[in-house]
Structure 1
């Protein structure tokens, strides 16, 4: 079995090649052509698909979970249909796109209420199940650890200017390159109470910031923070940073609810 790591294979031509059971990780595919090829039972996770054109294809049982900005199927942009249907299915989802300070505060109120119900649901399970992965996704505990990281990234670092706000239990997304100073301890097994204590401190920080948020502050850009970390040392609209936090909270709660249902079925067997 060939193993290619940290190699430049750009310009390669693969013709009548069998790549079954191949793993591509952190691979850069730009200006790539797939012609008369077969793609069966594939999993694409944590990958950006930008400017991809698929013509003359047969698509059967394609499942897409992610942020869909523009998706054209046979000449029809279906992204808006997907957005409207998700808003219909999940009342409150539209509130995660606020435009003024009161809207951000209302969105956070809703998230706190919804997460309280999700955590209570998790408490009814055997604590060991909260460390279990469902279909290769993060466990419930890991999800909470990641949300603490997201808050520190976009509030503590990007908005408030702390270059290194990380707690040892925080967890960046899996595809993020190892970065000096940012923790990534996937082997840690903290209790639910430990993680909730960390999470509560980060959520309190969001609440304090939103309580004093003004329209003027919402329209500003952040001051770049130097040093390694996430996000990179760039300037971002404050509104974008806050929207990212809201989106992380909203989407990961839905994932958690989905996986808790699976764990509940396991515990009842």
Structure 2
């Protein structure tokens, strides 16, 4: 079995080749053609698909979970339909797209209320199950740790200017490259109460920021942070930073609710 690491294979031609059980990680695929080929039982995770054109294909049992900006199927852009259906299924989702300070405060209040219910649901499980992964996804504890990382990155660092705000238990997303100074302790097993203490502090920080947020601040850009880390040391629109936090909180709660339901079935 071949192992190609840190190699430039651009321009390579694969014809009548069996690539079954192959793993591609941090691979750059640009201007690639796939012709008369079979793709069965594939899993694509943490990958950007931009400008992809699929013509003359049979698509059967395709499951997509992620942000869909534009998806044209047989000449029809279905992305707006998907957004409308998700808003219908999840009342409150539309509030995660605010345009003025009061809307951000309302969205955050709703998120705190929803997360309180999710945490109450998690407390009814055996604490050991809160460290258990479902289908390879983050455990409940890891999800809360990631939200700490998101707040530290987009609020404390990007907006407030702290060059190194990360809590040791914060958890970046899996595909992020190791970065000096940014914690990534996947072996840590803090209790629910430990991570909730950190989380309450981060929630209060966001709340204070939003309570003082003005239209002028919302329309402004952040000052670049002179230090390596995440997000990159450059300027960002404040509303983009805050939208990122809202989106992280909203989506990861849905993932948590999905996985808690499975864990409840296992307990039963």
Deviations 1:162-217 (A, max 9, x none): 01001110000000000000000101100000000111111110000000000000
Of 27-36 and 82-91, deviating more is 27-36
Partner residue of 1:140? 140
Partner SS, residue 173 of structure 1: coil
Partner residue of 2:150? 150
Q: What is the CA distance between 1:239 and its match in structure 2?
A: 0.3
Partner residue of 1:49? 49
Deviations 1:214-257 (A, max 9, x none): 00000001111111110001111000000000000000000000
Partner residue of 1:23? 23
Partner residue of 1:101? 101
Distance 1:36 1:205 in 2: 54
Distance 1:9 1:198 in 2: 45
Q: What is the CA distance between 1:148 and its match in structure 2?
A: 0.3
Distance 2:124 2:171 in 1: 24
Distance 1:214 1:165 in 2: 24
Partner residue of 2:222? 222
TM-score normalised according to structure 2 size: 0.99
Alignment gaps of 5+ in structure 2? none
Distance 1:34 1:200 in 2: 49
Distance 2:51 2:185 in 1: 34
Q: What is the CA distance between 1:50 and its match in structure 2?
A: 0.6
Distance 1:22 1:174 in 2: 19
Partner residue of 1:112? 112
Partner residue of 1:233? 233
Q: How does 1:1-269 map to 2 (within 5 A)?
A: 1-268=1-268
Question: What is the number of equivalent residue pairs in this alignment?
Answer: 268
Partner SS, residue 29 of structure 1: coil
Alignment gaps of 5+ in structure 1? none
